[in-house]
Structure 1
Amino acid sequence: MWELYVLKSFLEITVYIVKLISVATLIIGLLSYLKDILIAIFTKNYKEIKKVKNKLGGIVLLGLEILIIADIVETIINPTFKDIGLLAAIVAIRTAISYFLNKEIESSEESIKR
């Protein structure tokens, strides 16, 4: 029985670490974005501004995907129907956001190439 407790504790710590990784990814990405966007604005390089915005979109996508991993592991720890339904809703919303954000990035990259 204690093995189950140890495994659950390990998974809870893992979820916490994965969420921290997601937040760290977003914060580091934001700082990188701010640096790059300020340089692009001051040099008036409009193509670079679009590239930097796309880079931020990619970072947001990565952060969302990492959070989905944390949510899946968290639901494995506490598999109630309420939690599974909540996970399904969260994953659906994050997947929709990821899909449309990815489409926006692809569209923007096409306009940069022209």
Structure 2
Amino acid sequence: MRHYIQIIAEIIEGLGVAILLLGVVYSLVDFFISKYKGKEDCYFRLRKTLGKFILLGLEVLIAADIIATVNTNPTLESVTILGIIVLIRTFLSLSIQVEIEGRFPWQKTSQNVFHKDSKE
């Protein structure tokens, strides 16, 4: 059973990496098309689109890490490493979300901390 759980964790990890790669390609293609069409907000669109893909990829990678850790014999070292990885990825996710939306997740939509003219 552990062997199959490890395979599933690796597949989910690969999916997370694939989401990140797809996000880079999609965001860059969208950026260059927008740039070619002369749109002014193409850089901010690139950052927002890429940020969303990174967020999704990080969430999938966190799930893969949790599954992989559950599969092993939990030791203090493995649980500590998982905790540190989850903390780092959660901090990255929070930072990216603030960058994309211009507010913290717990703030109301009308409280836009960083972007005065945000449209979303």
* TM bracket (short chain): 0.7 to 0.9
Say which SS state the counterpart of residue 117 (structure 2) adopts: helix
Q: 1:109, 1:22 → 2: CA distance?
A: 29
Corresponding position of 1:3: none
Question: What letter matches 2:90 in structure 1?
Answer: T
1:43: Cα distance to partner? Answer: 2.5
Distance 1:62 1:109, change over 3 A: farther
Q: Secondary structure at the match of 2:41?
A: helix
* Separation (CA, whole Å) in 2 of partners of 1:109 and 1:21: 32
Match of 1:113 in 2: 119
How many residues are aligned here?
A: 108
Structure number having the greater helix percentage: 1
Matched residue, 1:14: 8
Cα gap change, 1:68 to 1:24, in 2 (>3 Å): same
The answer on whether the counterparts of 1:40 and 1:49 sit within 8 Å (CA) in structure 2 is: no
Q: Where does the alignment leave 5 or more consecutive residues of structure 2 unmatched?
A: 103-113
Tell me the C-alpha RMSD between the 2 structures.
1.9
1:74 maps to which of 68, 79, 104: 68
Q: Out of 11-20 and 33-42, give the one that drifted further.
A: 33-42
Q: What is the aligned partner in structure 2 of residue 103 from structure 1? A: 98
Name the counterpart of 2:22.
28
User: What amino acid is aligned across from residue 75 of structure 2 in structure 1?
Assistant: T
Aligned-pair identity in percent equals 32
Per the TM alignment, residue 112 of structure 1 is displaced from its structure 2 partner at its CA by 4.1
Greater CA deviation, 40-49 or 79-88? 40-49
Query: What is the TM-score when the length of structure 2 is the normalising length?
Result: 0.82
Q: Any gaps of 5 or more consecutive residues in structure 1?
A: 1-6
Could you list the per-position Cα deviations for residues 23-62 of structure 1 after superposition, in whole angstroms to 9, with x for gaps in the alignment? 1111111111110011122223122431232011010000
Is the 2:23–2:50 contact (alpha carbons within 8 Å) kept by the matching residues of 1? yes
The alignment's TM-score, normalised by the length of structure 1, stands at 0.86
